[in-house]
């Protein structure tokens, strides 16, 4: 089985899972996101967002391929590029952190360590670029896949709560800790990304 991990660019944007290509939950504020969906412009807006972040900040995602077939991805960016983040009661993300926006591994590739590979690659990229941490908004009442990752899974892979909330806690992972993950944490990462595999109820991940 050959694995290949590459930065997300406009050239390979079409390799995102179908339901993720037109999802602008994080990329636009709530009103603009709903408007884009109603007008059928979500995919165009997604491409515009990726383009802007690449030009202004640099790499903001990774795609993983297994035998040249897209198997999953992770998306991340500084909070200034994530309009939806301001809508959460536990915002803002800390100024020294990058936001882990979302991540997804296709069901047929679950359990192969791809989640660990994706997140470790993000950690190494961000450490090299001088960042100290990754933060994410978790869903404490998570019942089925959506755009937020479940808070308990984030906690299981080493994130710590930095601002509590009954529904949307903000969690933080110190990047240097990811360089010495042990096997149990790696397995938890696989569960984290493998858990996001069913069709979401409200909006695609």
Per-residue model confidence (pLDDT) at position 198: 41
Say how far residue 53 (Cα) sits from the centre of its chain.
Answer: 15
Per-residue model confidence (pLDDT) at position 200: 38
| Residue 190 CB contacts under 8 Å (≥ 6 apart), including other chains | 110, 111, 112, 113, 114, 115, 116
State the sign of the Cα–Cα–Cα–Cα dihedral 17, 19, 22, 23: negative
Instruction: Summarize pLDDT for 123-160 with one digit per residue, the tens.
Output: 889 999 999 999 999 999 988 767 888 898 788 778 89
Among candidates 199, 190, 179, 72, which has minimal Cα distance to 127?
179
Instruction: Summarize pLDDT for 72-81 with one digit per residue, the tens.
Output: 999 999 999 9
Among candidates 126, 14, 120, which has minimal Cα distance to 60?
126
pTM of this structure? 0.84
Per-residue model confidence (pLDDT) at position 149: 84
Taking 50 as the pLDDT cut, the residues of the chain under it are 196-205
Per-residue model confidence (pLDDT) at position 188: 62
Per-residue model confidence (pLDDT) at position 1: 64
């Amino acid at each position: 089985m050959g694995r290949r991990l590459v930065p997300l660019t406009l050239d390979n944007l079409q390799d995102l899972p179908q339901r993720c290509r037109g999802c602008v939950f994080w990329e636009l504020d709530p009103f603009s996101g709903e408007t884009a969906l109603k007008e059928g412009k979500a995919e165009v807006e997604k491409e515009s967002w990726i383009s802007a972040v690449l030009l202004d900040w640099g790499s903001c995602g990774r795609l993983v391929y297994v035998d040249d077939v897209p198997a999953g991805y992770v998306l991340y960016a500084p909070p200034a590029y994530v309009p939806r983040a301001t809508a959460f009661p536990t915002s803002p993300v800390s100024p020294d952190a990058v936001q882990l926006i979302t991540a997804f591994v296709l069901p047929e590739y679950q359990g192969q360590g791809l989640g660990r590979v994706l997140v470790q690659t993000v950690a190494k990229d961000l450490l090299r670029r001088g960042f100290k941490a990754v933060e994410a908004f978790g869903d404490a009442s998570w019942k089925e896949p959506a755009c937020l990752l479940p808070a308990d899974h984030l906690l299981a892979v080493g994130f710590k709560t930095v601002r509590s909330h009954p529904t949307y806690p903000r969690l933080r992972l110190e990047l240097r800790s990811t360089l010495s993950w042990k096997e149990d944490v790696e397995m938890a990462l696989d569960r984290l990304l493998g858990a996001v595999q069913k069709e979401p109820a409200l909006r695609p991940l």
